[in-house]
């Protein structure tokens, strides 16, 4: 009986150590969500920069057209 109890206690200890060595599931999920959010933010920033470039080009073309019309 003592051997059985000692075996169960040892197994519980090993399982506890293994569990303590792994980060909690919530922390892993939060880290993954943060990585995804960072990637999405980077993509959105790139798209916004491209849209700003297009808008700047359109404004320059409109200004040139206005100058030609004024002449």
**Domain span at 46:** 2-70
Rounded to an integer, what distance in angstroms lies between the CA atom of residue 14 and that of residue 11? 5
The tally of domains found in the chain comes to 1
Q: What is the pLDDT of residue 64?
A: 94
Tokens at residue 11, please? 């197994």
Rounded to an integer, what distance in angstroms lies between the CA atom of residue 44 and that of residue 31? 20
Tokens at residue 36, please? 């995804």
Please give the model's pTM, rounded to 2 decimal places. 0.54
pLDDT in tens, 2-49: 555 555 555 556 556 555 555 666 778 888 999 999 999 999 999 999
């Amino acid at each position: 009986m003592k051997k059985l109890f000692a075996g169960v206690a040892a197994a519980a200890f090993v399982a506890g150590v293994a569990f303590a060595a792994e980060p909690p599931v919530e922390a892993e999920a939060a880290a993954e969500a943060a990585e995804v959010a960072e990637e999405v933010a980077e993509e959105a920033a790139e798209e916004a920069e491209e849209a700003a470039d297009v808008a700047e080009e359109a404004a320059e073309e409109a200004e040139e057209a206005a100058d030609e019309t004024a002449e």
